[in-house]
Structure 1
Amino acid sequence: MKRFFLVLTLLVFIVPVMAQEEETVDLSGIKEYAAEHAALMAENSAAFLETVQTYYDLLAGYDFDYEAAYEAEGETLAELVMTARENWLQTSLYYELNEGIVAGTPSLAYYDVLIDAGASAEDDPEEALEWTLTLPDGTELESPGNLFHSLSEPTLYGTVDEFVGAEADLDGDGEVGPTEVLPDANLLLGVTQRLDEETQNLVTAIDEWEPTEEDAFTALVVMIPTMSEYFGQWKESAFVAGDEASEVSFVAASRLLDIVSILTGLRVTYDTVSPLVAESNPDLDAQIVTSFDDLQAYVDDLYEDEQEGVVFEAEEVDLLGTEAQDRAESLAALVAQAADTLGITLELE
């Protein structure tokens, strides 16, 4: 993966040092954080499935004639779509708070690919995860991408024409906006069922996981220097590109919020292992803490500006993303140096 090649580049600049006398640290805080947010994700995933099942059942009563159903029960359908979007958003937000840990931990990373980050076979035939999504009508989709951003979000917001049941005036203003659609019920239910199933599987995987120091430092070194990827997606999303957006995902929430959330989980991870670093090299620990503070503040400020109505131009985003990536790479190099100082082997493959 691109993340690992970047990590290997960072490691070239580390001066090898002798491992210090072995210290231990309580890693239970990382697991407790991950388990708490996975449970909240599952709670919202279940609510999402319940809403979508109701939506599906209502349309089934009209033999999936979307126009007829909307004419008869348009207000109810609109409410269900809006509720489903809110359920989806909460499910996604709780995952993002865990993504840095899940995606960066080798034993958990499969779930990041399936749920949140994997490409479809159509987009990336060589790297796509091989899996099959079976829909309620028996249709099988082979390697269709990830459950959040390849499938459920575009379906809910109508950014992929094939995922739309019908256009509809959801807000009742007399006009049909670009994301005002009745999602394809068959696809939406199938995706939501699988999302709920895999969310439960993730909860179980985290419950069974016993974090190691190698896990913690690997997650930090792998996931911190991913800013350019996320800023690139932000640039192509509707939050920057508006109606010219080429990105079919990242409609429900700004990618900046996802970065804030990912860094939150990674900060919990570093704060947990910080005593180890401080014991071995207090100056290095202080550098890492300061660099982490600076990176988080940098992204937080951008997100706050966006929330207050600032619209960034694509050229600005390129510059901002470069700055964020530079800061992240410097921070990741310091963390990798700390791991080396402690004699901790990073799991990069």
Structure 2
Amino acid sequence: MSSAIYLDNHATTPLDPRVLEAMLPYLTEHFGNPSSNHLFGWVAREAVEKAREEVAALVNATPEEIIFTGGATESNNLALLGAARALADRGRHIVSYVTEHKAVLDPFKVLAGEGFDVTLLPVERDGLHDLGLLERSLRPDTVLVSVMAANNEIGVLAPLEEIGALCAERGIVLHTDAAQALGKIPVDVRRTRVALASFSAHKVYGPRGVGALFVRRRPRVPLQPLVHGGGHERGLRSGTLNTPGIVGFGAACRIAAEEMASEAQRVRALRDRFLQAILQRVPDAVLNGHPERRLPGSLNLSFPGVEGESILTHLGDVAVSSSSACTSSLRQPSHVLKALGLSDEMAYAALRFGIGRFNTEDDIVRAAERVGNAVSALRELGRASASSA
């Protein structure tokens, strides 16, 4: 696969070799259970706590506020179900947005079935959030607001500091799904005043199967655990800790803290070069989402008259996606693109490009050429079919 081009870094990122190097000892000689009270356990426990410090440092939290989980989906479920149920005596109103990830929207369906009133707000046509609308939607019985830091399909960034201020003034718990933002843009839980934040290792060049939930300690956020059986992770997430995965997550966060600024600048330049190259070949391609307020490596483009799935079949060894990897098995237009006001035709015509750490200038040039050729070939095929009908 040496010639393959990977431009799907929103779905998952390749494991950084430095992360793998950090993990390997804990897959071999340092195999102990971190809960065990002997040498093998102590070594594993020390590694887990070091990783907890590294994750906390990246988001300006304290180590005690980081709870390790199996991934961002689990973190979202623990945050939303756990907080809503714990706060039910104070109120049962929740506010979020229609463009959230399914790992947020689906837990809200569960809570709605339990009698919670869930308000899902629209976004503007460029994916931005209307703060005035959010403020007007908050009620005396609103206990929880959830807003993703960066959208997984269009990369648009939420104004978390402003939303955090609105919630803090009213004593409302603010949760953010920051899986896509972590390590790509600064995430500061103090400055944004979020109470709960979900993270995933495999979105930041770490291993799959491990994530974290930031749980603010002062003021304390009440949570009901979802998993019981041992009281691990301060009673919030029972189960033997995945020491190698956690070590890898910590290493990925440490690398991100050191390299994020320079990497974001380089990736943003590659993204802009890629967009320019695409528009030279397909001038009527349409950018979905705000052109500036988005992740450095994010591009979501619609190609009028051509289905994104058809383009994928013509790209060969260029890896991109036509939707979120978490919903790609569902044959329906993206709920995010529909929320921007796109027609079904334009939503189906979309591709998501995720440029990342290991992409090169050559990748960008070759991929843009492949996409342009695929669109041209499919449009020519469409015209031939139409003329013969």
TM category, shorter: under 0.3
Task: Decide which structure has greater helix share.
Answer: 1
Task: Decide which structure has greater strand share.
Answer: 2
